[in-house]
Chains A and B, each alone.
Chain A
Amino acid sequence: MHTASHAAPSRASLLTRSLRQLLFGVLAAATPFIAAADAPATSAVNTTGLAVTDTTVTVGQLHSATGTMAISETGSIQAERLAIEQINAMGGVLGRKIEIIQEDGASDWPTFAEKARKLLVNDKVAAVFGCWTSASRKAVLPVFEKENGMLYYPTFYEGLEQSKNVIYTGQEATQQIIAGLDWLAKTKGAKKFYLVGSDYIWPRTSNKIARKHIENVLKGEVVGEDYFPLGHTQFGSLINKIKLKKPDAVYSIIVGGSNVAWWKQLKAAGVTSDKQTILTISVTEDEILGIGGENMVGFYAAMKYFQSLDNENNKKFVAAFKAKYGDKAVIGDVTQAAYLGPWLWKAAVEKAGSFDIDKIAAASPGIELTTAPEGYVKVHENHHLWSKLRIGEALPDGQYKVIYESDLIEPNPFPKGYQ
């Protein structure tokens, strides 16, 4: 299988690769004109000793292939591989084919840090596509800053972070929250909100922003705010409180496996979408696979991407994804954001005319992708993406019907007045 050879580079192939690099390095230094006519000389595009040869460039992939997060991160692994395969089919980056070294973060944050250091220090990869949870990103961030690497991070997250060494291809909190709340206020006339979430940094920060926006901008009221440990499965008392307080809208940031219990128990308690508006920012098509479409019918999600988006880019992307990974494959918001990573990196390298990390970091702001499945995206000065927000209504088949689309929203990881 094609991917398998990438997935497990043996010791021998690593050795031959470094020998090859050495050989090419010597050749390139001695006789620059030996390099392929369409590819610029390695010595010119790689001044910092990254794993770039005259014909290849090596990148790293650092997700959890094992452990509790594997179920979420697999989509990202697949999307990044698809993008890299497509880029290679188009001739690669600066005339060089992309080779992948995959490492397993194993859902364990210290392991992420170890593997990140390995990819940057040992393998000298030109870029890393990876991480999913905030915890894993926090664990690797000091490594990327110290060793000067470049990370493309796909997940929507809480913001409050910005680094020269990271491109955030998912939404930061304000991009996902504010437009969604505005939509609730405008179309549903919502004034009373109930905020719920899993108990960790992303839901708490997101709800903090939501509360400020509800109270200060929408002049509404938060009638309840509750948090539950990761993996919590008993939502009976929360559902009773919601019934009692009768909010106009419930704003839900329950993550992971807890979602299955949460939506099923809502249905069992008779809380259906015709009686209670619920907007979630944490349930993509991937999670619905576990929840079951019939348990979520009519509830809303706020994301930048849904698999059902009706545009040419997305149709091609969905078709290519299904051709590679099977007809049953489902594409969620993060999977699409992960797909953008290699493309944004390619664009940055070509704009900079170099693989050097500093030059890519400097060249990234302003880069536009018109071929993104989500439509048009642009990299901001702060290394986040301008993107739109969409509201999807859940359908029984586990897909979302897109019922609202915002304008492009500027990323603002340190929102004034929301902290």
Chain B
Amino acid sequence: MTITPSTPKNALPWWRAQLPLLVMSAVILVALPLALDLFRLNLVGKYLTYAFVAVGLVLCWGYGGILSLGQGVFFGLGGYAMAMFLKLEASDPESTKIQSTPGIPDFMDWNQITALPALWEPFHSLTFTLFAIVAVPGFLAFIIGLAMFKRRVGGVYFSIMTQAIAAILSILIIGQQGYTGGVNGITDLKTMLGWDIRTDSAKYILYYVNAGLLIAAVLLGQWLLKSKFGKLLLALRDKEERVRFSGYDVAAFKIFIFTLAAMLSAVGGAMFTLQVGFMSPSFVGIVPSIEMVIFTAVGGRLSLVGAVYGSLLVNFGKSYFSESFPELWLFLMGGLFIAVVMLFPNGLAGLTDSWREWQARRRARDLPRPTGAAPAPTAGDDTPPPSNLRAEGGAA
């Protein structure tokens, strides 16, 4: 038997290896837009903005072992940056002439502020805003990472710190209501460079932009995980000391992946603002941040595609249960989470893995056993590692 070195015998053609991503793309690009009316599709668009956070969490929690309970901070910062730009555009002197000081956002006027704060000035520019959406959360994550990982703060201590940061930022936003809109958030956003984001056509366009960016984010994640960096990430999750003793700067890798996850969250936040039409501090605090971790856990902590399904499923459940059972829905959601964690500790993606394993086992049993060694159960590079490896990260 000859083995060609370029194609190991258990490697799959590219489209088989990428089947999960292709199916996901087909679902969000074709199936959902065809099956749902615009109202529901707009909701799905909103859910998919959370999927950016979940994809980031798969990278930094599932593979990097860094459990951040403060991803809402970055989602919120991205969303606020976009909201500030849109709010300034909506607050032209003509449409705010009823105010004491026309030309500034309405909530500033209610708070007796008479001139636009310097912090807001640069957000007149869309270029600056787009830059700030990723740069501000990225920079904050970099600083947090630098402060924590260089001092080898990790595990549960890091999670607690991220929670504290989420609490601090939400208190700050609520307290500084003259500059941030306070509890109300930044509402009543209308146009982006004159383009009305509330029209039906705009909603379709934004949905597809969002879906496209999300698929790009998943591809970026896959590419990273396939690279040498991905292997190192896994290694430092499971045996950090060994990686350090091998001469790698562990902190730098952790800072990088945490910053990247923050930037992905921020893109989700900005898309959220565009599609929903406002931003509020209720996305910044501890509770939403933990909810975002739940999306990831439901989808499967080690599957980028699973994270997208997890976000869709949990949020769809939230909308459906709360519409159908307005008094009981929180209990139903709680039941769903408990059921997922008890029955499928590896989330939805774990379920498909178990299915695949079971099938492989059955095939092995049915087929006449070849004389050579049995094929290794591990698949190609880009499929997640087998589930015995997954179970290890559970304590994170």
B111 and A103 within 8 A (CB): no
Taking residues whose C-beta sits less than 8 angstroms from the other chain, chain A's interface range is: 35 or more
CA distance A141 to B325 in the complex (A): 25
Contact of B188 among A121, A138, A205 (CB under 8 A): A138
CA distance A279 to B290 in the complex (A): 41
**Cβ–Cβ < 8 Å partners of A10 in chain B:** 324
A200 and B110 within 8 A (CB): no
Judge whether B319 is part of the interface by a CB distance below 8 angstroms: yes
Question: CB-nearest residue of chain A relative to B330?
Answer: A66
Among A315-369, those with CB < 8 Å from B are none
A114 and B326 within 8 A (CB): no
A200 and B182 within 8 A (CB): yes
Number of interface residues of B (CB under 8 A): 41
Binary per-residue interface labels of chain A (104-139) against chain B in the complex, 1 for a CB within 8 Å, 0 otherwise = 101011110111011001100000000001110011
Contact of A109 among B42, B46, B280 (CB under 8 A): B280
Among A135-177, those with CB < 8 Å from B are 135, 138-139, 141-142, 146, 158, 160
CA distance A9 to B39 in the complex (A): 20
CA distance A121 to B187 in the complex (A): 20
> Which one of A7, A134, A139 has the highest number of Cβ atoms from chain B below 10 Å of its Cβ?
A139
**Cβ–Cβ < 8 Å partners of A122 in chain B:** 37, 39
CA distance A367 to B112 in the complex (A): 35
Nearest chain A CB to B295's CB is how many angstroms away?
16
**Cβ–Cβ < 8 Å partners of B323 in chain A:** 103, 115, 118
B322 and A103 within 8 A (CB): yes
Nearest chain A CB to B74's CB is how many angstroms away?
17
The 9 A-B pairs with the shortest beta carbon distances in the complex, nearest first, are A104-B326, A135-B184, A121-B39, A138-B184, A138-B187, A142-B188, A135-B183, A419-B100, A102-B326
B326 and A65 within 8 A (CB): yes
**Cβ–Cβ < 8 Å partners of B278 in chain A:** 110, 113, 139, 142
B324 and A8 within 8 A (CB): yes
CA distance A204 to B178 in the complex (A): 11
**Cβ–Cβ < 8 Å partners of A160 in chain B:** 110
Judge whether A219 is part of the interface by a CB distance below 8 angstroms: no
**Cβ–Cβ < 8 Å partners of A410 in chain B:** none
A135 and B324 within 8 A (CB): no
CA distance A114 to B107 in the complex (A): 22
Among A1-29, those with CB < 8 Å from B are 7-11
**Cβ–Cβ < 8 Å partners of B189 in chain A:** 142
Contact of B175 among A11, A65, A108, A199 (CB under 8 A): A199
Binary per-residue interface labels of chain B (313-335) against chain A in the complex, 1 for a CB within 8 Å, 0 otherwise = 00000010011111111100000
Judge whether A414 is part of the interface by a CB distance below 8 angstroms: yes
**Cβ–Cβ < 8 Å partners of A380 in chain B:** none
> Which one of B280, B328, B329 has the highest number of Cβ atoms from chain A below 10 Å of its Cβ?
B280
**Cβ–Cβ < 8 Å partners of A401 in chain B:** none
Sample of 28 A–B contacts (CB below 8 Å): A7-B326, A8-B326, A8-B327, A9-B324, A65-B327, A66-B327, A66-B329, A102-B326, A103-B322, A103-B323, A104-B327, A109-B280, A109-B282, A110-B276, A110-B282, A113-B276, A114-B43, A117-B39, A121-B38, A133-B183, A134-B184, A135-B280, A138-B188, A139-B185, A141-B187, A142-B190, A204-B111, A208-B112
Judge whether A201 is part of the interface by a CB distance below 8 angstroms: yes
A7 and B327 within 8 A (CB): yes
A200 and B177 within 8 A (CB): yes
Classify the interface of chain A: helix, strand, loop or mixed: helix
Among B251-294, those with CB < 8 Å from A are 276-278, 280, 282-283
**Cβ–Cβ < 8 Å partners of A65 in chain B:** 326-327
A141 and B183 within 8 A (CB): no
Judge whether A229 is part of the interface by a CB distance below 8 angstroms: yes
Question: CB-nearest residue of chain B relative to A67?
Answer: B330
10 new A-B contacts, CB < 8 A, other than A65-B327, A142-B198, A201-B177, are A8-B325, A104-B322, A104-B326, A106-B322, A109-B183, A110-B282, A142-B189, A142-B277, A200-B174, A205-B110
Binary per-residue interface labels of chain A (188-214) against chain B in the complex, 1 for a CB within 8 Å, 0 otherwise = 000000000001110011001000000
**Cβ–Cβ < 8 Å partners of A109 in chain B:** 183-185, 280, 282
CA distance A141 to B90 in the complex (A): 15
CA distance A110 to B322 in the complex (A): 14
**Cβ–Cβ < 8 Å partners of A114 in chain B:** 43, 46, 276, 319
Knowing A11-B324, A200-B177, the reply to whether A139 touches B187 (Cβ < 8 A) is: yes
Nearest chain B CB to A385's CB is how many angstroms away?
21
Judge whether B98 is part of the interface by a CB distance below 8 angstroms: yes
CA distance A66 to B328 in the complex (A): 9
A200 and B183 within 8 A (CB): yes
CA distance A160 to B326 in the complex (A): 32
B107 and A201 within 8 A (CB): yes
**Cβ–Cβ < 8 Å partners of A121 in chain B:** 38-39
CA distance A291 to B115 in the complex (A): 41
Knowing A8-B327, A121-B39, A200-B177, the reply to whether A141 touches B322 (Cβ < 8 A) is: no
CA distance A259 to B328 in the complex (A): 29
CA distance A307 to B146 in the complex (A): 59
**Cβ–Cβ < 8 Å partners of A104 in chain B:** 322, 326-327, 329
Question: CB-nearest residue of chain B relative to A229?
Answer: B175
**Cβ–Cβ < 8 Å partners of A102 in chain B:** 326
**Cβ–Cβ < 8 Å partners of A117 in chain B:** 39, 42
**Cβ–Cβ < 8 Å partners of B182 in chain A:** 200-201
CA distance A131 to B200 in the complex (A): 26
> Which one of A122, A133, A142 has the highest number of Cβ atoms from chain B below 10 Å of its Cβ?
A142
**Cβ–Cβ < 8 Å partners of A204 in chain B:** 110-111
